[in-house]
Amino acid sequence: MVMRVLLGDVSSQPTRVGPLMSSEFLLASTYRSIVAEPRLDTAHQSWDRGWGQAETRANWTQPEQAVTELIPALTQRGVRRVLDVGTGIGRHALAFARAGFEVIAVDASATGLAELRRAADAEGLRVDTELAAFTALPIDDASIDHVLAWNVLYHGDAEVVRTAFEECARVLRPGGTAQLTMLSKRHRAFAIGREIRPDTFVDDASTGDKDHPHFYVDATTLTAMLSDAQLEARSVIDIDQQPPGGFHWTVLVEAAPTDVGGCRGD
Ligand SMILES: C[S@@+](CC[C@H](N)C(=O)[O-])C[C@H]1O[C@@H](n2cnc3c(N)ncnc32)[C@H](O)[C@@H]1O
């Protein structure tokens, strides 16, 4: 398996959690994202530490049922190239590879990607990994059939999320599909801590990643933001992830324009 590093500086601003390893950040001039300064898409720093710990990894090994149950419908639609954005240690990238898809996995955590490569090699699976920010995907336009971004794209503020949605739309072929989750305003952590931007909170007391900016949204705003990015919502469901109170929107979208059926499992 080959790991290509096409990463811009996803965290050029110093933060109190310390700088990322310089080896992670090459070719900063390639960074294409236009987001508000100071940078708010910094949560990968927390995840990079977490992915180095066995107890964190143990909680993220089993693929979500909502993801795997979509695989037959994706196969039926002729999906070949799948992009897993914010793959972590790659539980879904591995599931897609096992299902026979061509898989590209992107994350800003070098540690997570290393774990994914180790697991893929152990199973003899091919997964291409890219160290990159979700606001600057190192992927060609209209080259992906299906994007997954599970518990990823809300790490920032509304501007970061808008850029991330635009990136998903850019890389999807017309009629391509995406499955995304976003933090719901029903989530137990909504409005906890400092509101540093509208609906964007930093909880300085958090022992997890919530000491980095997280963006929370309601259904009306979410569907409008998706629509602005030329992503048409096919399904928007507020699901209570574990532990209880962990409400996330689980969203299926289709990249416009298309004249074929949506991602409905039919
Ligand atoms: C909650 S984990 C989810 C991992 C994976 N999607 C899963 O479901 O197993 C969030 C992941 O998003 C990544 N991430 C956070 N901010 C990011 C950014 N700006 N660009 C790329 N990846 C990011 C983190 O490094 C982490 O691996």
Provide the token pair at 230.
């030329």
- For residue 199, tell me if it sits in a domain: yes
pTM equals 0.86
In terms of Cβ atoms closer than 10 Å to its own Cβ (0-12, 13-18, 19+), residue 170 is: middle
Q: What is the pLDDT of residues 162-193, one digit of tens each?
A: 999 999 999 999 999 999 999 999 999 999 99
Alpha-carbon distance 81 to 44, whole Å? 25
- For residue 54, tell me if it sits in a domain: yes
User: Can you name the residues that pair with 104 across neighbouring β-strands?
Assistant: 83, 128
Q: Per the structure, how many domains does the chain have?
A: 1
Q: What is the pLDDT of residues 89-140, one digit of tens each?
A: 999 999 999 999 999 999 999 999 999 999 999 999 999 999 999 999 999 9
- For residue 115, tell me if it sits in a domain: yes
- For residue 12, tell me if it sits in a domain: no
Alpha-carbon distance 37 to 209, whole Å? 20
- Give buried/exposed letters for 87-108 (b at 16+ CB in 10 A, else e): bbbbbbbbbbbeeebbbbbbbb
Q: What is the CATH number of the domain that holds 132?
A: 3.40.50.150
User: Can you name the residues that pair with 239 across neighbouring β-strands?
Assistant: 248
- Show the ligand 1 pocket: residues with CB < 6 angstroms: 10, 41, 43-44, 47, 60, 86-88, 91-92, 107-109, 112, 133-134, 150-152, 155
Contact status, residue 45 vs residue 18, Cβ threshold 8 Å? yes
Q: Which atom of ligand 1 is nearest to 47's Cα?
A: 25
- For residue 226, tell me if it sits in a domain: yes
